[in-house]
Structures are given as C-alpha cells and as structure tokens.
Amino acid sequence: MYGEIYSGGGSEKQAVKYFEKWGWYPSLDMMADGDILKMEAIENLNIHRFHISLAHRIDKQKMEETLRKGSNVTTL
C-alpha cells in the first residue's frame, strides 16, 4: 500500500539512511510546502487522508517531471 511513497528508486541505501535520520519530517515538510506553521494542522489529519494526499502529490511530481523531459509517454 502507498507504493508511490515507499518504493525504491535511485540509491535505496541513501534513501534508507535519509529516512532513518528524518523519519516523517520530510513528508510533513513537503505537505506543508515548507511552512512550519502548517505542520500541526497536517499532523492532525487522518493517516489515510494524509497518505492519499501524499501519494497523489508524488504521482503528480513524477508526471510533471516526465513532461518536462519532453517525453511523449507518461509513466507514473
């Protein structure tokens, strides 16, 4: 479940070390657009709602990256 968030890509060892160090903070920071004042509201969200929103945001970023590269094929 939520493979968009937790699946590998790039250097998995680096990713593991990063998330071991920072835990949930990077996800909260991304969802709050870097605004620390929004983090408390995000922390109070239902966990399923948080994950759906986070998964959507990651899929959207991947699609936009593919489009910027000029590829005619969209892969999510």
> Residue-wise over 10-39: b if at least 16 C-beta within 10 A, else e?
eeeeeeeeeeeeeeeeebbbebbeeeeeee
Rounded to two decimals, the pTM is: 0.62
User: Is 90 exceeded by the pLDDT of residue 74?
Assistant: no
* Assigned domain for 76 exists: no
In the chain, how many domains are there? 1
pLDDT at 6: 67
* Assigned domain for 74 exists: no
Count Cα neighbours of 32 within 13 Å in the Cβ-side half-sphere. Answer: 18
Q: Using one digit for the tens of pLDDT, what is the confidence trace for 3-39? A: 656 665 557 778 788 888 888 899 899 999 999 999 9
* Assigned domain for 6 exists: no
Q: Mean pLDDT throughout 48-52? A: 94
Q: Using one digit for the tens of pLDDT, what is the confidence trace for 58-71? A: 999 999 998 988 85
Task: Dig out the tokens for 8 from the structure.
Answer: 């590998």
- How many CB atoms sit inside 10 A of residue 55's CB? 16
